[in-house]
Chain A
Amino acid sequence: MSSPVQSLPNSEHPGGEILPPARILITGASGLLGRSVAAHLAELGYQVTTFQRSPSSLETVRDIRGSLTDPQAVQAAVEGQDAIIHMAAKVSVSGRREEFEQVNILGTERIFNAAWAAGVQHVLYVSSPSVAHGGSSLVGAPAAAADPEKAQGHYAQTKAEAELIAEARGSAGTSVLIMRPHLVWGPGDGQLTARIVDRARSGRLPVLGSGAPLVDTLYIRNAVEAFAAGLRRLPLIAAEQPVAGRRLVVTNGEPRPIGELLAGIAEAGGAPRPRFRVPASLAAAAGSVIEKLWAVTGPHEDEPPMTRFLAEQLSTAHWFDQRHTQQVLQWRPRISIDQGLAELAAHVQRTGGVL
C-alpha cells in the first residue's frame, strides 16, 4: 500500500516546523478561542480555513460552514490542508449523552479519517484537563492520561474517549499533539468571563467554601500564542516525545485561589466582589439536585446554575506542572494574570461589556 501521507514542501517546514504560508484548518472557530487562534494564525501568514456551523465572521480566513456530524462536509474541509487544529466540541455541563457522543467522539473520528484519506499529516487536538481527573484535588499535577472512567459529566467523558482516539491515531501514522487549555478567560469570552461578571452583577456569584483552592487559568492571548507555538512545533513534538509527552496541559502557570480569581474577574468587569459564601458540601448537594431537575424539566437554553461537577471544580485545587509544556512549546505566557485583569477592565470600560 502506498502511503497516503504527503510530505509538505520543504519551504513550509524547514527544521520540521509548520510555518506560514502552510494551509491550516481550524474546526470550531465560532468560540472565542477558535476565532482568536484563527485570526492570529492568519495574521502570521498562514492560509487559514475554518469549519463550523455558523460563520466565523473573520475576514482574513476562508469559512467552510458545516457540521462535524456530516462526513462529506468534513472531508471537503480537510482536503488540501497541511494541518488541522481540531477544536470543535459540544461544550456544556448539561444535555443528553448521545449529542456529546455524536460531536465529540464520532466527530473526532471523522476528522482523523478524513485527514488520513486526504493525506493531512498533522493534527493538533484540543482537549481539556477534565478528561483525566475526577473531583479530587490536583496540586502541581502532570498531564495524566485521559480516562473516561474517571472523567465526570458527559462532556469530559466523551472528550476523554475522543482524546484516546487522537492518541491512538498519533501512534498510527498521523502526527498528533494534544493540548488541554485550562479555564481560558479574557475579553470576548462568553463562557466563563461573561458569566462570572453577569452573576456578580446580579449578586448571584457565591464563593464556595473557603475560596482558597488554587486554580490554574489561561489568559486568552497566552492561549492563542500557545496554540500558534503548538502548531508550529507539532511535527517535532510528535516525532520526539513519547505518548505522555505529547499531552500538554496549558495554563498561565500562575495558580491563584479561586475566590481571588472570581473577585478579580468580577471587579475587572465592573461588578462587585462576590460576598456571600456557601459551604462546599452544600453546593455539591445542591448541584446534584439541580442537575436532576434540569434533566427532567429540559430542554433549557441556559446551563444549570450549579452542578455537582462544578461545585467540586470550585472547591478543590486544580493546578498543573507547566515545565514540560513550556519546554516543548518553547513558549512562555507573556501576559500575567494581573496584566490580563487590567486588559479586561480596560476592554469592559471601552466597550461596556465583556463580549
Chain B
Amino acid sequence: MVIFRPIPAAAARSPFDVLESTPLPGLDPQWSRVVTARTEDGERGFHVLDTAEALAQRGITPTGTILAVHGNPTWSYLWRGVIAASLEQARPGHAWRVIAPDQLDMGFSERLAHPEPPSAGAPSYRRLEQRLGDLDALMDALDVDAELPLVTLGHDWGGIISLGWAVRHQQAVDAAVCLNTAVDHPSGEPVPPALRAAMAPGVLAGSTVVTDAFLRVTLALAEGGLSDDVAAAYRAPYVSHLGRGGIGGFVADIPALAAHRSRGVLEEISAGLSRWSKPALLIWGPKDPVFRDRYLQDLMERIPHADLHRFEGAGHLVSEDRDVAGVLFDWLGQQFDAAAQPSASPAPAAEVAGLHQQLETMSLSWRRDRPAAVDMSSDGAPAVLTWAQLSEQVEALAAGLHSLGVRSGDRVSLLVPPGNSLTVVLYACLRLGAVAVVADAGLGVRGMTRAVRSARPDWIIGARPGLTLARTMSWPGRRISTEPLPPHQARLLGTVASVERLRRGADPRALQELPHPEPEHPAAVLFTSGSTGPAKGVVYTHRRLGALVALLRHQFAVKPGASLIAGFAPFALLGPAIGATSVTPRMSVTKPSTLTAEAVAAAAAAGEATMFFGSPAALRNVVATADRLSVAQREDLGRIRLVLSAGAPVHPRLLDQVQEIFPAAEIHTPYGMTEGLLQADIRREQIHEAMKTSQPGVCVGRPVAGVRFALAPLQADGTSAADLVEPEQAGGALSEIVVSAAHLKAGYDRLWHTDWTSRRDTRDGLLWHRTGDVGHIDDAGRLWIQGRLQHVITTAAGPVGPGAVETPVDELDQVARSAAVGVGPVGAQAVVVILEPAEGRRLRDGRSPLARPEVAQAVRAAAGEVSVSAVLVVDWLPTDIRHNSKIDRTALAAWAEKVLAGERVSAP
C-alpha cells in the first residue's frame, strides 16, 4: 500500500545552482533565471529559460517573442532544441526571444505545500484556471515588448494552457503553435487507457507522486529512446517525491468528467479555439498512446486553417524524436518574413474540363451503349459497363452516398481493387466533391495503415479484404462495403451501408440540387510509393487532375472512343475522364509482375483496345510469357498502337522485346512521379538515339506540353543549390530537377514542412516542385535522370548520381541489375556497386560478398570515369512493393558500409 506523506513548500531555484552531479546536456546556464511573479495567491517563484540575456550579449534586439509552455511531467528542458535553434538563427533585425517557464510545482519552479494527496477536489493543487493566471503574472513580471509579434508554443498540458492563454489574449498573440495535445475530451468518451491507469482515484497519488511511475512511463515514450544523460535531465527536478506534487496535481486536473472543476475552463478554451483566426501550426507525433490522432482531428476541425506537420513514426515526445525547431522556424519565417508564395502554374496542355464532363458527354452521345469499362479481374466473362450504365451507376451511387451523409470535402478511403466497382465509386466521390484517398495495396499492410491513418478518412469504402484490414488495424472512418453483406458480417466488419444498396435505394434526382465541385476543391489524395521513407500523401485538386487529363489526351492523342488496357492504376482511373474505355486485365494488384501476355491479349480482344499502359515489372512478365501467345492472340496485340511504360525507367532492351510483341505500337516511357504523373516523354527509338551519346543516366526525353523544368545544381555535399537556373545555364551539371506545371500536386497532405520544402522556389512567380530526382539536361534539351537526391554519392571528385554508374553496369551480360551507393563520410565517399546476377550466373566465390576480380574489373571498366572502390554481389536487390523496381539504396548503403568495414552481416 502506498502512503502519501505531506509535501512542504520550497522556493524556486536554478537547476545550475542545485544539481551537483546531473549534467543538463543542451542547456546553457546563461538561459536560466528565477523570476518572481505576483499570482492570484501571492508572489511565486518561477524558474524560466529566457534568451533575453544571450541575445543582449550579442547586441541583438529581439524582433518577436515565443512563449513556450511544457506539459506534464516534463519541464522547460523540453524546449532546449527550440532555444538553441532560435539563437543559432538570431541576427540583427531578425531574432526570436524564447521564454520557457517551468510551471508552478514543476521543473525548478516553486513547490507548493501539499498537506493532502492530489485529487480532483484537493485545494492545494493548481487548477487550469490558476495556471492561466500564472502565465499572466509571469508575462507581467518579464519585460516583454508588447509591440513585437508574440507566438505561443505548447506541448501536452502545456498545449492546452498555451492555447487557452492565446485564446484569452487574441489581440496580443499573433500565432499559436502546438505539439501533441488535446483541448477537448468529450466527457462521454473513455479516457485513453494509457492515462486512465494513472487517473484511477486509488492509484493517482501512488503512480504520480509517491512513486515515479508516471514520470518513467512518459520518458519512455520517446520513439528512439532517450540517451541516459537526457533522461536524467528530465528526471532531475522529480527525483524525490517532494518534487512530484505537481505531477499528481496535473493528472488530477484532467477534466475527464463533466462535473470536474476545470471542465468549464477547458470548454471555454476549446470553444474559443474554434474562433481562432490567426495563423496556427500543429506539429504531431502520431505514435502517442494518449494524444491519439482523434485529438489531432478535433484540433483540425476547430482550426481548419491550421498548418499541420505530422511526423510519421514520431511519438508523444515529438520534439525529442524529430527536428521540431526546424519546422517551427521555417514556419515562423513563412508567416512573418517571407513574401507571399506564388501559386501560378504554366498554362495547361489543353483546355481543362471537369472530371465528370466527359462521362456525361459520352453517356449522351451515340457511343452511349459502347463499353466504358471492361473488368476482367475476376473469373468468368468480362464485366462490361457501357457509358450510359457507368454514368447512371455513378450518379445513383453519388446520390446514395449523399443520402448516407457523405458531403463535399469528406475524405473517402477507397480499398477497392482496380475494376469496374472502383471506377464507379471513384467517380461518385468526385461528383460529390468528396476527396478520394487512394492508398493502394502496393504499399503493403503497414504502409497502407500508416497512409490511411495519416489521411484520416471520414469514410472507408472497401471490398471484404480491405474492410477486414480496416477493422483489424482499427483504421478511422465509417465503413461501407462494396457488396451487400449478411447482417452478421456487416456487424463484424462494422459497416454502415453497401455500395449496391446505396446505388439501388437512392433517387438520382436529388443530385441535381448538388453543385459540381469547384476546380480548387481537393479531389484526391494519392500516396508516393514509400521507397524513400514513409509514403507521403499527395493532394490533387479537381483543376489539377483535370489538367492531367487534358495533357494525357493531348500527348497521346487519346480520343473519345479509344480503349486502353490498364496495367498501371493511376492512369487507368482517368479513363472515364479522358473518354476512353478502360479495360482492367487479369492480374494481381499487389504484383504487377503477374500480368501475362495472354491476359493482355484477352483484354485487347474483349475491349478492342488500342493502348496498353503498364509498369516495368508488368512489361517484363509480358515479355517473359510471350511464347505462350497463340496466333490469334498475337493478332489482337498487333492492333495495339500505343504502349506506355510508367512508374520507373526501363532499359530499351526490354522495350525492343516489347516492340516484338506489339509490332504496330509506338512505345513511350513517360517520366513522372506521384506528385506530377507526366513530366517528360520519350519513344523507344529516341532512347536508342540518345544512348548513342553516352551521357550518364537514363534519358527520359523532353518536357511534355505545359511543363517547365528548372535545375538546382548539386553542391559538393550532395545537397541542391538554393537558387534555380534555367536548363541552358546549368551546362549539363548534375542537378536536382525542379518542375512547374498545371497538373502538379496541389500539396503534400498534413506534411507542412515537406510541402514547404518542395515548393520553396519562387522563380518567375511560379509554383515549383522540387522532385528529389537528380540528373542533367543536355544540349538537345533532353532530360537524363541519375537517381534520387538522397542517393547521391558524394565523392572527393564531386557528387555522382547512382544512375551514372548503374546504367552502364546494367548493360553487362552477367548483371540483372545493379545499385551504386556511397560509403564513408559526406564529400569523401567511396563508390560501391552491388550486383544482382543475371539468371544462372555466379559472380562470386562461395559465400564471399565480393564479386570475382574479373567481374569487378568489368564493372570498373563500365563505370568509366567514376572510380569504383568495391563490387559486391547479392542474390536479390531489395525493392519496393508497388513497382518492384525501385531499389532500396539506403538499406543497401548501410549494408555495404558494414560489409566493407569487415563486419559480419547477412544479406541486405
Nearest neighbor of A254 in chain B, beta-carbon distance = B867
Check A263/B853 contact, CB under 8 A, given A139-B824, A139-B825: yes
Inter-chain contact B899/A212, CB cutoff 8 Å:
yes
Check A257/B900 contact, CB under 8 A, given A211-B850, A212-B870, A322-B796: yes
The A310-347 residues at the B interface (CB cut-off 8 A) are 315-317, 319, 321-323, 326, 336, 338
CA distance A280 to B848 in the complex (A): 13
Chain B nearest Cβ from A327, distance in angstroms: 10
Q: How many residues of chain A are within 8 Å of chain B by beta carbon?
A: 32
Inter-chain contact B869/A214, CB cutoff 8 Å:
yes
Contacts of A326 in B (CB 8 A): 796
A260: interface (CB < 8 Å):
yes
A66: interface (CB < 8 Å):
no
CA distance A212 to B870 in the complex (A): 8
**Residues 807-830 of chain B, each 1 if its beta carbon lies under 8 Å from chain A, else 0:** 000000000000000011101111
Chain A nearest Cβ from B619, distance in angstroms: 35
CA distance A257 to B824 in the complex (A): 14
CA distance A322 to B825 in the complex (A): 12
Inter-chain contact A213/B828, CB cutoff 8 Å:
no
CA distance A143 to B179 in the complex (A): 44
**Residues 853-867 of chain B, each 1 if its beta carbon lies under 8 Å from chain A, else 0:** 100110010000001
B69: interface (CB < 8 Å):
no
Chain B nearest Cβ from A326, distance in angstroms: 8
A137: interface (CB < 8 Å):
yes
**Residues 280-323 of chain A, each 1 if its beta carbon lies under 8 Å from chain B, else 0:** 10000000000000000000000000000000000111010111
Check A214/B900 contact, CB under 8 A, given A140-B824, A323-B796, A338-B860: yes
Inter-chain contact B829/A212, CB cutoff 8 Å:
no
Contacts of B827 in A (CB 8 A): 321, 323
Check A280/B902 contact, CB under 8 A, given A140-B830, A264-B853, A319-B830: yes
Contacts of A263 in B (CB 8 A): 853
A210, A257, A280, A321: the one contacting B825 at CB < 8 Å is A321
Chain A nearest Cβ from B834, distance in angstroms: 12
Inter-chain contact A140/B869, CB cutoff 8 Å:
no
B901: interface (CB < 8 Å):
yes
B491: interface (CB < 8 Å):
no
The B209-245 residues at the A interface (CB cut-off 8 A) are none
A267, A273, A316: the one contacting B902 at CB < 8 Å is A316
Check A214/B872 contact, CB under 8 A, given A139-B897, A263-B853: no
Inter-chain contact B796/A212, CB cutoff 8 Å:
no
Contacts of A280 in B (CB 8 A): 902
Chain A nearest Cβ from B860, distance in angstroms: 7
A256: interface (CB < 8 Å):
yes
CA distance A267 to B857 in the complex (A): 14
B904: interface (CB < 8 Å):
yes
Contacts of A140 in B (CB 8 A): 823-825, 828-830
Check A214/B828 contact, CB under 8 A, given A139-B823, A260-B850, A273-B853: no
Inter-chain contact B897/A212, CB cutoff 8 Å:
no
CA distance A316 to B856 in the complex (A): 20
CA distance A296 to B81 in the complex (A): 59
Q: How many residues of chain B are within 8 Å of chain A by beta carbon?
A: 26
Contacts of B846 in A (CB 8 A): 277
Nearest neighbor of A281 in chain B, beta-carbon distance = B904
A212, A273, A322: the one contacting B872 at CB < 8 Å is A212
Chain A nearest Cβ from B818, distance in angstroms: 17
Chain B nearest Cβ from A257, distance in angstroms: 5
CA distance A212 to B823 in the complex (A): 13
CA distance A336 to B861 in the complex (A): 13
A186: interface (CB < 8 Å):
no
B823, B824, B830, B848: the one contacting A259 at CB < 8 Å is B848
B849: interface (CB < 8 Å):
yes
Inter-chain contact B870/A256, CB cutoff 8 Å:
yes
A255: interface (CB < 8 Å):
yes
B853, B867, B897, B901: the one contacting A260 at CB < 8 Å is B853
A134: interface (CB < 8 Å):
no
CA distance A280 to B901 in the complex (A): 12
CA distance A327 to B114 in the complex (A): 68
**Residues 242-281 of chain A, each 1 if its beta carbon lies under 8 Å from chain B, else 0:** 0000000000011111011001100100000100010010
Nearest neighbor of A136 in chain B, beta-carbon distance = B901
Contacts of A137 in B (CB 8 A): 901-902
Inter-chain contact A214/B870, CB cutoff 8 Å:
yes
**Residues 52-82 of chain A, each 1 if its beta carbon lies under 8 Å from chain B, else 0:** 0000000000000000000000000000000
A20: interface (CB < 8 Å):
no
A209: interface (CB < 8 Å):
yes
CA distance A213 to B824 in the complex (A): 12
**Residues 128-151 of chain A, each 1 if its beta carbon lies under 8 Å from chain B, else 0:** 000000000101100000000000
Chain A nearest Cβ from B439, distance in angstroms: 39
Inter-chain contact B848/A139, CB cutoff 8 Å:
no
Nearest neighbor of A252 in chain B, beta-carbon distance = B867
The B501-553 residues at the A interface (CB cut-off 8 A) are none
Inter-chain contact B828/A321, CB cutoff 8 Å:
yes
Inter-chain contact B899/A319, CB cutoff 8 Å:
no
Contacts of B872 in A (CB 8 A): 212
Chain A nearest Cβ from B832, distance in angstroms: 9
Contacts of A211 in B (CB 8 A): 848, 850
Inter-chain contact A317/B796, CB cutoff 8 Å:
no
Contacts of B825 in A (CB 8 A): 139-140, 321
Nearest neighbor of A137 in chain B, beta-carbon distance = B901
Inter-chain contact A317/B900, CB cutoff 8 Å:
yes
Chain A nearest Cβ from B804, distance in angstroms: 18
Check A210/B848 contact, CB under 8 A, given A139-B825, A260-B856: yes
Chain A nearest Cβ from B823, distance in angstroms: 7
Inter-chain contact A317/B902, CB cutoff 8 Å:
yes
The B877-908 residues at the A interface (CB cut-off 8 A) are 897, 899-902, 904
Q: List 18 A-B contacts (CB under 8 A).
A: A139-B825, A140-B830, A210-B848, A210-B849, A212-B850, A212-B899, A212-B900, A214-B901, A253-B796, A255-B869, A257-B850, A257-B900, A259-B850, A277-B846, A317-B902, A319-B824, A323-B796, A323-B828
Known: A255-B870, A315-B902, A321-B796. 13 other contacts (CB 8 A): A139-B824, A140-B824, A140-B825, A260-B856, A264-B853, A277-B848, A317-B901, A319-B869, A321-B825, A322-B796, A323-B828, A326-B796, A338-B860
Q: Which residues of B contact A (CB under 8 A)?
A: 796, 823-825, 827-830, 846, 848-850, 853, 856-857, 860, 867, 869-870, 872, 897, 899-902, 904
A-B pairs, top 4 by smallest CB distance, nearest first, are A140-B824, A213-B902, A321-B828, A137-B901
Q: Which residues of A contact B (CB under 8 A)?
A: 137, 139-140, 209-214, 253-257, 259-260, 263-264, 267, 273, 277, 280, 315-317, 319, 321-323, 326, 336, 338
